[in-house]
A and B are shown apart, each in its own frame.
Chain A
Amino acid sequence: MCDIETLPPVGAEATLSVSFNGKTVAAYPGETILACARRNGYYIPTLCELEDIDHTPGTCRVCLVEIQVDGIDRTHMVTSCNTPVKDGMVIQTRSKKVRDMQKLQVELLMADHNQDCVTCNRHGNCELQDVAQFVGLRENRFYDPARVAAREIDLSSPAMIRDMTKCIRCQRCVAICRNQQQVDALVITGTGVDTAVGQRYGKSQKDSTCVTCGQCVLVCPTGALGERDETDKVLDFIYDPEVVTVMQFAPAIRVGFGEEFGLPPGTNVEGQIIAAARRLGIDIVLDTNFAADVVIMEEGTELLRRLKAKERPTFTSCCPAWINFAEIHYPDILPLLSSTRSPQQVLSKISKTYLPEKMGIDPKKIRVISIMPCTAKKDEAVRPQLAHDGDPDTDVVLTVREFARLLKNEGIDLKTIEPSAFDNPYISEYSGAGAIFGTTGGVMEAALRTVYKVVNGKELEQIELTQLRGFEGVRSATVDLGPDIGEVKIAMAHGLGEARSLVEQIRAGTADFDFIEIMACPGGCVDGGGTLRSKKHYLPHAMKRRETLFNIDRKTRVRQSHNNPQVQALYRDYLEAPYSEKAHHLLHTFYTDRSKEMALTVKEIWDEITMSTMVY
């Protein structure tokens, strides 16, 4: 039950001795009771704490233990997550008092918690349910539906739902948004039983400074935060005889999906997804990887033009949370963003233009269903500049979690299904370059493979740019593109905190780069805000998923986007050339300043302040 590995503090020696339930163990100075307990195999239930992001706000008060310290006879109840061990401390994790108080605590948590578990998207995968089971909650004396009814549900965003009727005030979302992503969009609102998590300046999700990266969803222990569920919309399309359904799935999906069906993390389930999509009744199954190759053709060409025009740096534009971030938080850098649409939007666009032309289908009948590891892709799909005559190019986006839900709804088990393969002769083949788009550094590596060829007329000898494959938040390198262009300075950042510091440096003139890849989620799309949730962990499978993507690259027939024969055919038969007028019209976009006005008056603030008053 306790699978959280707690490493001993580096360089410390376990010089202290404490006892757990009567058994003496060695402890490290400064470590918490919880850390010591985990190292020694004593399970203590936790809820608000999240070891992977060093989050111990001590708000849930569930991880109680009874302690006795030297010199004091009576025992104290303390939360093990934030109480340090002391030499000679006597700790009880299972005394009657501990069990009773843990149980009462969970009962108090349930007093204003939405009890409609079966309708919740976390049902069966919920940390609160786990804790309630552990403490043996058998009655629920304090529950009052009126308290639940008083709490907010924010439905304003096309991407995410914030349902405070299920919030346990663990503040993990605030921590991830503030410390890791440094978007700092979330604040604590209200006091007492009205305490909740809200958007800065009391705005709705839609109008807030949130960029819908969805990292908060990954850490939420309950169903309080989640994506807007659109599985029904997909079923409506599938079962509409007038509609031709096209499904695409992102590079990262195939490596981050198997574990939901009991396969080892990082398993490549591309074939199973194709088979499952067909079983669902999808008419045409396509691969977003193909569009990634097209993006490289467009973005690479755009980059070379910008380099020649001394317009630098150029930022990548595949990541919709990054686009939101730039538009809302740094609108002054928008001219530096590549105008190339993201792979999702490129695929949707050519699925409604090139594909129907080739296949002889009425484009009006086509509906594109997109499976993405991302919550912000839902936001992207409804951008007005990515629609044709008011109809969005991408009709519906499902996160990995919704896709899993959909397959389960339809009784499809990925583990037992016979894998299949793509069969569309126009838009399904992909190069190794397209495959690695899903991990940090992948877009950069893919771009360099093609840009080098364009500039020098020959392939890059060393295909795998291992020097770019680190996992540091910001990585930079200098790459020699041959005599025509010379050396270019590149950088890659993953996680918006790292992106922010890089952007700040660019604006301050202290960083000098030609080409910068940004992925809003730490690790890139393989750990996107729309991927499967893990209980008690943050991004536990990052490296396995990444490695599988690199393996896919190694096994592909062609490894450069420009060598993908279907991409070559697309340009030959339809788009003419990368960055041609037609390509520009179909595959490029623009960005708008969406910064938020955040000025307040003292009067407005005074009206909102509680628990401190003027004294007259």
Chain B
Amino acid sequence: MAQVLFGVWNGAVHDNRPGKDDRGVPPPELRDFEQFDEGNGIRAFVGDRGFFVFDESVSLIDTFWHYMDKAAEQSCGKCTPCRMGTVLVRDALGAMRRGLQSNLDLDQLAALAEQIRATSLCGVGQTCASALEQALAHFRDRFEEELKPAKPMKAQHGMAYMTAPCIEACPSKVNVPRYIDYIRDGKPEHSLGVILQKYPMAATCSRVCVRFCEQACRRNLVDEAVGIKILKRYVAEHQTGPHALAFSKDMIAHELPADMKVAVVGAGPAGVSCAYHLLLHGYHVDVFEAMSEAGGMAAIGIPSYRLPKDVLLQEMNAITNLGGTFHFNQALGKDFSVDDLFARGYKAVFLGLGCQEGTLLGCAGENRELVGYESGIGFLLKVHDHVAGIKETKLDGEVVVVGGGNVAMDCVRSAIRMGAKKVHLVYRRTEADMPADHEEIVAAHDEGIEFHVLTNPIEILSEKGKVVGVKLTRMEQTEKDAKGRRNVRAVEGSEFVLPCSIVIAAIGQQVNTTSIHAKDGVEMSKWNWVVADKNTLATSRPGVFAGGDCYSGPSTLIQAMANGLKAARSIDDFVRLGSTRFFPRSRMREIVQANKMLASDCIEVPVKNEYRVHHPELSPEVRKTMFGEVEQVISSEDAYRESMRCMRCYRIYSVITEHAIPEGAA
């Protein structure tokens, strides 16, 4: 473990310098602090609650100059102490490190640091001067020593990283406070621009995202999380309509030669996101899609009452506007193979195949051929075709959906709209255990779905090849196991039959068994998902990368889009350099995460409660009869008000290292 020479963290002063008293403070438990990148040791670290020095020769003045330079650069400028204080402190430290006379002495520096920390409006100011304040309070001798020679100090290597809990929680690392800030500033288009830096499907994401960011939002400690998704929806409106932001080829900084082409297989969120970033890198991208339209699971797996089809279609235009080409009705394994793609001259291949085959319930009487037996995804596909006017599906009688995830919720809420007499949801655990979004569960209740929790199917009943019912058993929770988790077991003798005409198994999915064959040389997992390296998304076959559901199993839209971005970076490195590079920001994230730096804090001073706005919604009685969009966009007034709720919990972390940190793209 890395040995702290001296430092302060969370108010605890550590001093292990020779001849100094360590004051009996137990050494901090630091994980993963030995080196930043291969052979590049960490000499010092500065964060929101203190700093550590690992190496006697570190210059504190230069270290804090690095850190405060980032703070001054990232100060939003709204409040006085942070706006001006960070600049004054940075400039004073800057003069000192150059051996010049600073116009502020150490006392004034300390007073400014305290002022910034104690009186700033948001997280940047409240945390960025804390470490310096502590350093000046407890290690002033070091500063004085460094100032004695009055000559330029040796420049130190390092980097600074600013993040926030919502950013870290987001798989795509969207700069959430920044885009909320732009709304406050009155610039919703710029807000959308921040999102579009990460993925092209802002309007889709704003409707169906599972919102890891809101779970991480520190506003939860005050009243309720900021309505981040609601705000995204508000700004995403600028992607459609008469003044839609135009995607154009001038967004591509350097177009590459014609032979620099990449094949993307699957036009779902992962593939589209990957194609988008490759196009922005200047590559020529062909997207192969088995279906006759783009969007993947977002198109077929998400019902139109949550995501209108025209919204998605508009987003797909980003790809064509940037020069990408969609090839529809082209299925991997049927119309072409991975070998074919390389033979056609593609430098790399991205697999964004999705997980489109339903997992079987594994109970007696189950047979895919039965009339009335559907997989969750298969059913949603029928709903899609019905709503799109491609093929009508009529429902009569009662419907039983098995599962507790978002796909199951989509199935029950679609079934009621398709005219089912009654819709049942069967889930083996409790409602609180359901992985589906809470809002989806509440909406399903409101729309009259009957929930059967702690219930599991044991047999599909059929007559003459037609489903007539499901035999179910009641389940009960077991005692907590060592990990504190409760399992469930069947209650003996509690079996009962629920008559129905349709049963939908919405418990899981796998990659279509016909797409990847052994000769493709792409390793598959036991779940029949594509195996890939988690850092680079490279598969077992060189030049082939994978992301989205086919790699992770059924997951979220935002996860898929994040994979697309990561794969695009890896592909760019692979094509141009033959290998993928070190990515400093990811490394900073690892350190922040391993040491739970963003996790442990509370809000000590009272904050005025301002409860979040909600989407205007249609009444359950109206909406359960239609596939039109249920959630409406909020007004500008509400958007301004909601944006004011963000507390901007930015935190800055910086390292000083032995050598220069390699500049990596991926």
* A→B interface (CB under 8 Å): 30, 32, 57-62, 64, 67, 69, 72, 76-79, 82-86, 89, 101, 104-105, 108-109, 111-112, 141-142, 168-169, 171, 174, 178-179, 184, 186-195, 200, 598-603, 605-606, 608-609, 611-616
A88 to B103, CA, bound (A): 43
Q: Which of A59, A89, A184, A614 contacts B79 (CB 8 A)?
A: A59
B641 to chain A: closest residue by CB: A179
| Inter-chain contacts of B190 with A (CB < 8 A) | 605, 608-609
| Inter-chain contacts of A613 with B (CB < 8 A) | 197
Most buried by A among B87, B186, B665: B186
Contact assessment for B120 and A61 in the assembled complex, using a CB-CB cutoff below 8 Å: yes
Task: Given contact pairs A69-B605, A606-B197, enumerate 16 new A-B contacts (beta carbons under 8 Å).
Answer: A57-B78, A58-B79, A60-B80, A72-B604, A77-B118, A85-B606, A101-B119, A108-B84, A142-B88, A193-B83, A195-B77, A600-B245, A609-B193, A612-B175, A613-B197, A615-B565
Q: Kindly identify, within residues 174 to 192 of chain B, every residue whose CB is under 8 Å from any CB belonging to chain A.
A: 175, 178-179, 184-187, 189-190, 192
Q: Which of B21-29, B67-75, B372-380, B409-417 contacts A (4 or more CB under 8 A)?
A: B67-75
A86 to B604, CA, bound (A): 12
Q: How many residues of B contact A (CB 8 A)?
A: 65
Q: List 23 A-B contacts (CB under 8 A).
A: A59-B80, A61-B79, A62-B80, A76-B118, A83-B607, A141-B108, A169-B78, A178-B186, A188-B184, A188-B185, A192-B75, A601-B246, A602-B246, A602-B248, A605-B193, A606-B196, A606-B251, A609-B193, A611-B73, A612-B194, A613-B197, A615-B565, A616-B277
A111 to B89, CA, bound (A): 13
Q: Kindly identify, within residues 155 to 191 of chain B, every residue whose CB is under 8 Å from any CB belonging to chain A.
A: 173, 175, 178-179, 184-187, 189-190
A601 to B322, CA, bound (A): 13
Contact assessment for B197 and A192 in the assembled complex, using a CB-CB cutoff below 8 Å: no
B640 to chain A: closest residue by CB: A178
Closest chain A CB from B400 CB (angstroms): 46
Contact assessment for B608 and A601 in the assembled complex, using a CB-CB cutoff below 8 Å: no
A108 to chain B: closest residue by CB: B84
| Inter-chain contacts of A105 with B (CB < 8 A) | 80-81, 115, 119
A603 to B77, CA, bound (A): 25
Contact assessment for A84 and B193 in the assembled complex, using a CB-CB cutoff below 8 Å: no
| Inter-chain contacts of A62 with B (CB < 8 A) | 80
The answer to whether residues A602 and B245 also contact, given A61-B121, A86-B606 and a CB cut-off of 8 A, is yes
B644 to chain A: closest residue by CB: A57
The answer to whether residues A600 and B189 also contact, given A108-B85, A192-B72 and a CB cut-off of 8 A, is yes
Contact assessment for B120 and A191 in the assembled complex, using a CB-CB cutoff below 8 Å: no
Contact assessment for B84 and A193 in the assembled complex, using a CB-CB cutoff below 8 Å: yes
| Inter-chain contacts of A77 with B (CB < 8 A) | 118-119
A367 to B301, CA, bound (A): 73
Most buried by A among B251, B572, B605: B605
Contact assessment for B606 and A84 in the assembled complex, using a CB-CB cutoff below 8 Å: yes
| Inter-chain contacts of B526 with A (CB < 8 A) | none
The answer to whether residues A603 and B121 also contact, given A188-B184, A192-B73, A192-B76 and a CB cut-off of 8 A, is no
| Inter-chain contacts of A30 with B (CB < 8 A) | 608-609
Closest chain B CB from A249 CB (angstroms): 36
| Inter-chain contacts of B85 with A (CB < 8 A) | 108
Q: Does B479 contact A (CB under 8 A)?
A: no
Contact assessment for B572 and A195 in the assembled complex, using a CB-CB cutoff below 8 Å: no
Most buried by A among B80, B118, B119, B121: B80
Contact assessment for B185 and A187 in the assembled complex, using a CB-CB cutoff below 8 Å: yes
Closest chain B CB from A43 CB (angstroms): 19
Contact assessment for A83 and B87 in the assembled complex, using a CB-CB cutoff below 8 Å: no
Contact assessment for A64 and B119 in the assembled complex, using a CB-CB cutoff below 8 Å: yes
Contact assessment for B280 and A614 in the assembled complex, using a CB-CB cutoff below 8 Å: yes
Contact assessment for A193 and B608 in the assembled complex, using a CB-CB cutoff below 8 Å: no
Contact assessment for A601 and B250 in the assembled complex, using a CB-CB cutoff below 8 Å: yes
Q: Does B111 contact A (CB under 8 A)?
A: yes
Q: Which of A64, A598, A602 contacts B251 (CB 8 A)?
A: A602
A571 to B189, CA, bound (A): 55
| Inter-chain contacts of A169 with B (CB < 8 A) | 77-78, 80, 83
Q: Which of A60, A85, A598 contacts B243 (CB 8 A)?
A: A598
| Inter-chain contacts of B189 with A (CB < 8 A) | 600, 605
A194 to B185, CA, bound (A): 14
Contact assessment for A193 and B119 in the assembled complex, using a CB-CB cutoff below 8 Å: no
| Inter-chain contacts of A603 with B (CB < 8 A) | 248, 250-251
Contact assessment for A61 and B607 in the assembled complex, using a CB-CB cutoff below 8 Å: no
Closest chain A CB from B251 CB (angstroms): 5
Q: Kindly identify, within residues 303 to 354 of chain B, every residue whose CB is under 8 Å from any CB belonging to chain A.
A: none
The answer to whether residues A194 and B77 also contact, given A77-B118, A104-B111, A605-B193 and a CB cut-off of 8 A, is yes
Closest chain A CB from B361 CB (angstroms): 42
Contact assessment for B186 and A184 in the assembled complex, using a CB-CB cutoff below 8 Å: yes
A86 to B81, CA, bound (A): 26
Q: Type the 1/0 row for B242-278, where 1 means its CB is closer than 8 Å to any CB of A.
A: 0101111011000000000000000000000000010
A195 to B118, CA, bound (A): 22
Q: Does B281 contact A (CB under 8 A)?
A: yes
Contact assessment for B186 and A186 in the assembled complex, using a CB-CB cutoff below 8 Å: yes
Closest chain A CB from B98 CB (angstroms): 18
| Inter-chain contacts of A189 with B (CB < 8 A) | 185
B185 to chain A: closest residue by CB: A188
Closest chain A CB from B246 CB (angstroms): 4
A609 to chain B: closest residue by CB: B193
Contact assessment for B76 and A191 in the assembled complex, using a CB-CB cutoff below 8 Å: yes
Q: Does B569 contact A (CB under 8 A)?
A: yes
Contact assessment for A601 and B76 in the assembled complex, using a CB-CB cutoff below 8 Å: no
Q: Does B636 contact A (CB under 8 A)?
A: yes
Closest chain B CB from A385 CB (angstroms): 29
Q: Which of A59, A85, A174 contacts B186 (CB 8 A)?
A: A174
| Inter-chain contacts of B565 with A (CB < 8 A) | 615
Contact assessment for A187 and B569 in the assembled complex, using a CB-CB cutoff below 8 Å: no
Contact assessment for A200 and B84 in the assembled complex, using a CB-CB cutoff below 8 Å: no
Q: Does B422 contact A (CB under 8 A)?
A: no
The 10 closest A-B pairs by CB, nearest first: A195-B77, A187-B186, A605-B193, A188-B185, A612-B175, A108-B84, A612-B178, A77-B118, A601-B246, A192-B77
| Inter-chain contacts of B606 with A (CB < 8 A) | 69, 78, 83-86, 89
Contact assessment for A195 and B119 in the assembled complex, using a CB-CB cutoff below 8 Å: no
Q: Does B585 contact A (CB under 8 A)?
A: yes
A79 to B119, CA, bound (A): 8
A72 to B77, CA, bound (A): 30
| Inter-chain contacts of B80 with A (CB < 8 A) | 59-62, 105, 108-109, 168-169
| Inter-chain contacts of B666 with A (CB < 8 A) | 616
Contact assessment for A599 and B243 in the assembled complex, using a CB-CB cutoff below 8 Å: yes
Contact assessment for B197 and A612 in the assembled complex, using a CB-CB cutoff below 8 Å: yes
A613 to B253, CA, bound (A): 14
A102 to chain B: closest residue by CB: B119
Closest chain A CB from B348 CB (angstroms): 15
Q: Which of A76, A89, A200, A614 contacts B604 (CB 8 A)?
A: A76
| Inter-chain contacts of B73 with A (CB < 8 A) | 192, 611
| Inter-chain contacts of B192 with A (CB < 8 A) | 605
